[in-house]
């Protein structure tokens, strides 16, 4: 819930605020909020940081955890959802900026890596304007305008980080018969980045079948044309099973009511009779679960845990956090409903950590090669 604060300022400061508001198009309230948030910012680029990154469409910070584990310092984050902002602040001490569409790309600090789990929105080339985009009659800014991917594109174009990692649902590649994917690839390559992509399953690292597409890019203007990258992951020697993430004792409130359990069984039977595969999931505790989704809060039907002598139960929020590979010290400071949505929308942290390791290893090798070439 938003809280109102009333401040009295001098005439001079009031005039300066009004002038800044007119120049930037930001409201006085937005300017004040940004000023207060700056009080909580950490020093830019700590000396011990191996590299810097920004965290766009940050959610609750799964990507941040991954890149921080590689020695990176996060210089900027953006997330519009107020409950995710709260979770992010409670765990990292940074309050993400809200709507990235309202952020001028010139105001974002220089960084080495851009990280973004951008939402997938419909792309349309129909009605592309004939404005001059970066010297082109049409171009990537035109084709992606009106989508949140556009904000990734404009920041990449302005700041030119050494590398980026983008994450999205597997179906992004087939959306709109592949046209959405083609626009994304064309846009990134038009920006002069060497682009690599792969669909990876989080089941390599956690007991959950979760396929996502990952897109990695390196700046060709900095590193040249012959950049190669391989998604060669190093899975853990011992793989966790679903039982390994379960809490030993769980409150009765997570057990399904008789009414809900009867409904789910009848619903599944109806779809089986029709030849469909819809229904609840009761996974083998020695294996992996289905994909945890943002709708898990509704009935928990995709992942239910068997219980002896009573109805099955939902996962707890902490178990959902573990299913996504979040560390035990990650604070859950929102309601169960919000937590289910947040973890269902998040990333498999160990998987992204491994990808981050590969990106930083390649980036460092490219930097060394560039330095050697100049010496």
Query: What is the DSSP code string of 248-299?
Result: SS--GGGBPPHHHHHHHHHHHHHHHHTT---S-----TTS-B----TTHHHH
**Residue 370 is among the residues annotated as catalytic for this protein:** no
- Quote the pLDDT of residue 237: 85
The better pLDDT of the pair 131, 325 is held by 325
* Digit-coded pLDDT (tens) for 228-257: 999 999 888 888 999 999 999 999 999 999
Evaluated on CA atoms 58, 63, 65, 68, the torsion sign reads negative
pLDDT at 205 over 50: yes
Domains and CATH numbers, the chain: 49-236+348-374 (3.40.50.150), 242-344 (3.90.120.10)
Range with the poorest average pLDDT among 90-99, 231-240, 271-280: 271-280
**Cα 110 to Cα 53: distance, rounded to the nearest angstrom:** 9
Residue 199 phi, psi (nearest 5): -90, 125
- Quote the pLDDT of residue 132: 41
Contact indicator for 106, 126 with CB cutoff of 8 Å: no
Q: Quick one: what percent of the chain has pLDDT higher than 90? A: 63
CA quadruple 170, 176, 178, 181: dihedral, nearest 10: -70
pLDDT at 352 over 90: yes
Range with the poorest average pLDDT among 7-11, 71-75, 100-104, 157-161: 7-11
pLDDT band for position 79 (cuts 50, 70, 90): very high
User: What is the SS3 assignment for 151?
Assistant: helix
Does pTM surpass 0.85? no
**Which of 74, 84, 120, 370 is flagged as catalytic?**
120
């Amino acid at each position: 819930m938003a809280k109102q604060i009333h401040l009295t300022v001098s005439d001079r400061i009031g005039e300066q605020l009004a002038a800044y508001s007119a120049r930037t198009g930001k409201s006085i309230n937005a300017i004040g909020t940004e000023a207060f948030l700056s009080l909580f910012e950490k020093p830019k680029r700590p000396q011990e940081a191996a590299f810097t990154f920004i965290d766009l469409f940050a959610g609750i910070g799964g990507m941040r955890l991954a890149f921080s584990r590689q020695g990176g310092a996060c210089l900027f984050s953006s997330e519009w959802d107020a409950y995710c902002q709260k979770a992010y602040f409670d765990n990292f001490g940074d309050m993400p900026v809200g709507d990235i569409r309202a952020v001028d790309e010139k105001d974002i600090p220089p960084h080495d890596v851009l990280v973004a789990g951008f939402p997938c929105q419909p792309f349309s080339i129909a009605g592309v304007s004939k404005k001059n985009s970066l010297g082109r009659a049409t171009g990537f800014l035109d084709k992606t305008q009106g989508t949140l991917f556009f904000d990734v594109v404009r920041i990449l174009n302005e700041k030119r980080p050494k590398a980026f990692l983008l994450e999205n649902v597997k179906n992004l590649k087939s959306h709109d018969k592949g046209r959405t994917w083609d626009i994304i690839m064309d846009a990134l390559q038009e920006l002069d980045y060497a682009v690599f992509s792969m669909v990876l399953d989080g089941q390599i690292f956690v007991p959950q079948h979760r396929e996502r597409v990952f897109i990695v890019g390196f700046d060709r203007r900095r590193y040249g044309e012959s950049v190669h990258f391989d998604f060669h992951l190093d899975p853990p020697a011992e793989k966790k099973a679903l039982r390994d993430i379960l809490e030993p004792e769980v409150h009765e409130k997570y057990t399904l009511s008789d009414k809900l359990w009867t409904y789910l069984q009848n619903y599944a039977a109806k779809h089986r009779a029709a030849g469909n595969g819809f229904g609840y999931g009761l996974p083998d505790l020695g294996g992996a679960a289905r994909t945890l989704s943002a709708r898990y809060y509704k009935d928990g039907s995709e992942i239910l845990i068997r219980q002896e002598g009573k109805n099955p139960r939902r996962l707890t929020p902490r178990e959902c956090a573990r299913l996504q590979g979040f560390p035990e010290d990650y604070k859950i400071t929102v309601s169960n409903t919000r937590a289910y949505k947040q973890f269902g929308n998040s990333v498999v942290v160990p998987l992204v950590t491994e990808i981050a390791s590969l990106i930083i290893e390649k980036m460092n090798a490219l930097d060394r090669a560039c330095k050697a070439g100049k010496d």
